[in-house]
Structure 1
Amino acid sequence: MIKGKQGVIPSELDLSDPSSVASKETEKAKVYFSPGPKPEKDFQFNAYRHTSLKKVLAKSFNGKCAYCESYIIHIRAMEIEHYRPKKAININNKLVYPGYYWLAADFLNLLPACPACNQLRKYELEDGTCITSGKGNNFPINCESKRATMPGEEIHEQPLLLHPYHDNPHEHITFLKTGLIHHKTNKGLVSMEVYALKRLELVPRRKEVIKGVQVDIRVIIDAIESIKEATNIRQLQRHKSSYNRHYNSLKKRMCSKSPYAAVARNILHKDKVLKDIKKLFKEELSEALERVYTPIGT
């Protein structure tokens, strides 16, 4: 999970425009869920299903799940996830109605998710145990007495789930060399459990990224060491080419477009390791060039 970059709100979901699809539906929802008798027919939330939203979210999150960073193969496989559940909330294993109906079409409450993160399912963990996990209608907060029941009250809540627009996930979760995910904070722990980020199927995918990063670093170190021993310009060019190829590979692994970029960033401590590597490379290359081009006997 990495911090997301908010895209442009589709006109259909522009709540500042009273004539938008989202605004009209939100006003109807407020009337429907106001105190008093309810019609027999359930309220239907449809604004968030608009095709334009899927396209914006797919672009904003580079075709990846906002939670686990797996590629969502096709736009039809993408599920629009409500950070705060729209219809009902799971509180102590009981569905409590209504949910955050006034946020059902709020752009910042909508995220792209893969079915595995979004739906309640049984998963196997590394130790062989099975758990039921997934976002579903879960939305735990720090103090239940501050649970919002009316529009605007949500600002008083303290969510226990990471939001990719508002939080920096690397401050709350980290990754081990085994591919397992680990928490730094309680918010990170709850998010791991609710978003099913501990599921076994993600471990080998993360390990593959970790292995790739380790290989790139090893080749880069070898290239820099070889530059120290180079005696001619051809050798320097060959080792420099090897360095550049694997340095760019590390940058690509950290890129938001790459799957499991959070894992690569975790190993590289965001970009600190890259900066140190680049600094060392420039220093050794400069010395090597001076050595190679200095005439013998001078």
Structure 2
Amino acid sequence: MIRYAVELAELTTEIAAVDPKWAGKAQKRKLKLFAQGHYAETAAIWSTVKPVFMKLQLNKCVFCERQFESPLYGTIEFDLEHFRPKSNVLAWPNPQRHSALNYTVAMGDASEQGYFWLAYDPLNYAASCKVCNSIFKSNYFPIAGARGAVESSVADLTTERPYLCYPLGTQAEDPEALITFEATVAVPTQAAGPDRLRGQIIIDFFGLNAREQLHRDRARMITVFGPALLAQQQGQASASDLDLIARIDSPNLPHANCLRAFKRLWTSDATMARQVFEQCRVYMLSELGTPLPQA
């Protein structure tokens, strides 16, 4: 998970380019939802702007950083996710679905009405892969405080102290201040305190370490860059090696957070980083159930 520093003006412009009338139609629907006091529609219009969020997120899932096709072909692979659920909010963790989790801190009350007034607020949207959205996020939204009042703006709802992090824009925390990686394993960035708890909750919430395919994809990305970093260390880097190394921080790469952590490890402990690289080379093509690379 990384930040996509999108400004509201840019988002508004991109939406208008897809459908100049979308904002007006969304406002009418929002007023109707206010009058109803809950979310109830037989058809919605937010899928129209899904390509906008795919583009701004560089065709990556906003949560797990898997990368898919561009909007030309890839809209079927994404959901337009409501960061705060538009209808009922369920208590998380669910004792049946999340029996392995044992958090003792408050996670916020369930809510039958949810955040219906944000159903057509683009600042509550993101493009998510179907696994992150449908299986993991569903209608959950854990918070440390009390649920915000009806009609509260997204900015005002920060008083809820959400555990999840909204990666678009610059109003919320930078996800990399909460989550980093050791080899392919997501870990909290902070060693202690509330942000360490947030990082761990996000990791558990989206199953960032439970999904073996994510580990394999991260291992493949590390394997792409490992030889160039090794060649540079040995003083044998070619022009293409150096060009590749220069791209390692690029946000358009899948699993950019993991790659950036690997680069930092190579800078601070090249011996350990090389061991991680060698493990990833083997792991990326291994059978299911193979032990993960270790840093």
TM-score normalised according to structure 1 size: 0.70
How far residue 90 of structure 1 moved from its aligned partner, in angstroms, is 1.0
> Could you report, residue by residue, the CA deviation over 1:157-191 in whole angstroms, capped at 9, with x for unpaired residues?
101001102221111111112x1111231111111
How far residue 45 of structure 1 moved from its aligned partner, in angstroms, is 6.2
1:37 is aligned to none
1:41-60 counterparts in 2 under 5 A? 42-44=40-42, 46-50=44-48, 53-60=49-56
SS in 1 for 2:81: strand
1:88 is aligned to 88
How far residue 112 of structure 1 moved from its aligned partner, in angstroms, is 0.4
Determine the C-alpha separation between the residues in 2 that align with 1:116 and 1:183: 22
User: Which runs of at least 4 in structure 1 moved beyond 6 Å after TM superposition?
Assistant: none
Aligned residues: 230
| C-alpha contact (below 8 Å) 1:11/1:20 kept by paired residues | no
- Seen in structure 2, the aligned counterparts of structure 1 residues 139 and 69 have a Cα distance that, compared at 3 Å, is same
SS in 1 for 2:234: helix
How far residue 19 of structure 1 moved from its aligned partner, in angstroms, is 6.9
1:151 is aligned to 151
How far residue 31 of structure 1 moved from its aligned partner, in angstroms, is 0.4
Is there any run of 5+ residues in structure 2 with no aligned partner, and where?
Answer: 95-108, 190-195, 269-295
2:144 is aligned to 142
TM-score normalised according to structure 2 size: 0.70
1:232 is aligned to none
Determine the C-alpha separation between the residues in 1 that align with 2:22 and 2:251: 34
- Seen in structure 2, the aligned counterparts of structure 1 residues 163 and 42 have a Cα distance that, compared at 3 Å, is closer
2:77 is aligned to 77
CA RMSD of aligned residues (A): 2.8
- Seen in structure 2, the aligned counterparts of structure 1 residues 45 and 139 have a Cα distance that, compared at 3 Å, is farther
Q: Does residue 180 of the first structure (1) align with residue 185 of the second (2)?
A: yes
| C-alpha contact (below 8 Å) 1:13/1:20 kept by paired residues | no
Determine the C-alpha separation between the residues in 2 that align with 1:95 and 1:43: 22
Q: Does residue 208 of the first structure (1) align with residue 213 of the second (2)?
A: no
Greater C-alpha radius of gyration:
1
| C-alpha contact (below 8 Å) 2:181/2:187 kept by paired residues | yes
| C-alpha contact (below 8 Å) 2:33/2:40 kept by paired residues | no
1:29 is aligned to 33
1:1-298 counterparts in 2 under 5 A? 1-6=1-6, 7-9=10-12, 10-11=15-16, 20-33=24-37, 42-44=40-42, 46-50=44-48, 53-73=49-69, 74-92=74-92, 93=94, 96-120=111-135, 134-143=136-145, 146-152=146-152, 154-165=157-168, 166-177=172-183, 179-184=184-189, 185-198=196-209, 199-223=211-235, 242-269=237-264, 273=267
Paired letter, 1:188: G
Determine the C-alpha separation between the residues in 1 that align with 2:23 and 2:143: 33
| C-alpha contact (below 8 Å) 1:176/1:182 kept by paired residues | yes
Determine the C-alpha separation between the residues in 2 that align with 1:163 and 1:216: 33
Determine the C-alpha separation between the residues in 2 that align with 1:108 and 1:259: 23
Determine the C-alpha separation between the residues in 1 that align with 2:180 and 2:43: 36
How far residue 217 of structure 1 moved from its aligned partner, in angstroms, is 1.1
| C-alpha contact (below 8 Å) 2:182/2:261 kept by paired residues | no
